[in-house]
């Protein structure tokens, strides 16, 4: 008791290291058990987002250079599509600006 955050983190690291194999087996078992559900989920996701996935793949294959966020300059930007039917027309946005943009769009739709 009374261990500080850092000590606890270290202890957890140690514990994880010691139980590496057990954890791996557990994860594998879990995945096996839930494979059907995961597959179903993936299938559903693919169906619902097929346009988006295709657009993202096309963009990833053709546009290799990542540019910084066009709104705030954050170098960790992702590719955002205004229109999934135009997979190569993208904007570079960081996660925060991207999230903001999508949120604003939602509002426009609902209002």
Pick the closer one to Zn ion by CB: 9 or 76: 76
Altogether, the residues listed in the chain come to a count of: 111
Query: 56-75: which residues touch Zn ion (CB under 5 A)?
Result: 69, 71-72, 74
Interface pattern 75-94 for Zn ion (x via CB under 5 A): -----x-------------x
Measured in whole angstroms, the distance separating CA 80 from the mean position of its chain's CA atoms is 13
Residues 39-75 as b/e (b if ≥16 CB within 10 A, e otherwise) read eeeeeeeeeeeeeeeebbebbeeeeeeeeebebeeee
Query: 5-64: which residues touch Zn ion (CB under 5 A)?
Result: none
Q: How far is the CB of 106 from Zn ion (least distance, A)?
A: 12
Binding site for Zn ion (CB under 5 A): 69, 71-72, 74, 80, 94, 97
């Amino acid at each position: 008791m009374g261990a500080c955050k850092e000590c606890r983190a270290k202890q957890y690291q140690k514990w994880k290291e010691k139980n590496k194999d057990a954890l791996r087996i557990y994860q594998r078992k879990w995945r096996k058990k839930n494979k059907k559900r995961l597959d179903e989920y993936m299938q559903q996701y693919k169906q619902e987002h097929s346009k988006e996935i295709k657009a993202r793949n096309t963009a990833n294959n053709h546009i290799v250079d990542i540019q910084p966020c066009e709104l705030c300059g954050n170098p960790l930007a992702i590719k955002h599509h205004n229109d999934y039917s135009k997979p190569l027309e993208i904007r570079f946005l960081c996660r925060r600006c991207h999230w903001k943009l999508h949120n604003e769009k939602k509002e426009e739709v609902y209002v």
